Homo-oligomer: A and B are copies of this chain.
Amino acid sequence: MERAYGFDEVALVPGDVTINPDQVNTDFVVGNHTFSIPILASAMDAIVDPAFAIELSKLGGLAVLNLEGIHTRYERPGEVLDQITGAPEREVTSLLQRIYSEPIKEKLIGQRISVIKQAGAICAVSMTPANTKRLAPIAKDAGIDILVVQSTVTTARHISKSYRGLILPELCQQMSLPIIVGNCCTYDSALELMRAGIDGVLVGVGPGAACTTREVIGVGVPQVTATLACAAARETYLNESGKYVSVITDGGIRTGGDLCKAFASGADAVMIGSPLAQATEAPGRGYHWGMSHPHPTLPRGTRVRVGTTAPLEQILLGPTSVTDGTQNLAGALRTGMGVCSARNIKEMHNVKMVIAPSIKTEGKHFQAIQNVP
């Protein structure tokens, strides 16, 4: 058995040259789209609605709208959100199970996408593999720019009795737009997905703040190790094909420190949930829940109270007076890159990390000191 590492177990090592934060470039490219902030908003109902997607696109990032969430199941998602955020703790899972059993309305798909496109924003949407053959053409017709196919674990091969598995090479050919697939967390599965012709992989099984996959089925690979493995697959595939497939670390990022470590592990971009659920613009109204939470027989998640702390712009670009790493995430990335001698994301991939468990290891006398009268 090999040891796998998460964000809290590593730290970045400063480089031999320091670079002013205004001299670093954080561009992320997928297809012919360039994003100045390499941050994607998770395809979760508590985070992304059309208005949020428009705002994030303006700021330079990319939001992914979940096409299997409440926005395509309900005409008036606001009422549904009221129910979810108002439910007592003990009833929330069964409520979510009920709410997400409402059928997806195909006509709502077009409506939601139109709102985003008409505002001039780049539009990305997500769907699960089982529904992709049905929903992807509708989404394409409605004008999406980027397609995300996502479930807890998605592989290039699937064994099922009830439906023919999604054939990714076929999908790529039919859609002719950038396709991002996930989640995966190993070298082999990432490489196999890349060979299917996709443009990006989402990395991360189990790490999300609102996810209990590891408790429920024991599955999960911590994000530093998972990102390193998938980034290695990217280099292998680049060598064999000449094509650069983006690695996007998804889940478990809560602070600027986590974010910097994801890039140092090999990420080209990150997908984040709970930090953005704290934005004034987030539809979750201070709450956050994951995509596996409403599963009808084996739910895997919790509703997390994250609070509403600041406008999205401040969370991403600052300035801030918060010192715990949850605001000015892009500024933190720039500062971290500068300290680590990285002028761009590519150079950030080569930054040295050390295994240095727990932020608080050296701070444990802190409490004792505070208690001095």
Contacts and interface: CB of A to CB of B under 8 A. Distances in A.
Contact of A336 (B189, B218, B297, B307): B218
A221 B368 contact: no
A307 to B, nearest CB: 3
This chain: how many copies in the complex?
A: 4
B257 A339 contact: no
A283 interface: no
Contacts of A54: none
Nearest to A4: B354
Interface stretch (A70-78, A132-140, A172-180, A322-330): A322-330
Nearest to A286: B372
Given A307-B373, A328-B298, A353-B1, A219 B340 contact: yes
Contact of A214 (B259, B306, B359): B359
A25 to B, nearest CB: 12
Given A14-B184, A186-B14, A217-B336, A4 B356 contact: yes
Contact of A155 (B18, B189, B332, B371): B18
Interface string A246-265: 00000010111111110010
Interface string A157-175: 1111110000000000000
A219 to B, nearest CB: 5
Nearest to A161: B23
Contacts of A184: 14
B362 A12 contact: no
7 contacts: A14-B153, A14-B189, A16-B157, A17-B155, A217-B335, A298-B331, A304-B366
A48 to B, nearest CB: 18
A305 to B, nearest CB: 5
A354 B332 CA distance: 31
Contacts of A359: 214-215
B161 A278 contact: no
A253 to B, nearest CB: 9
Nearest to A299: B323
B212 A325 contact: yes
Interface in A1-51: 1-20, 22-23
Interface string A296-315: 11111110111101000000
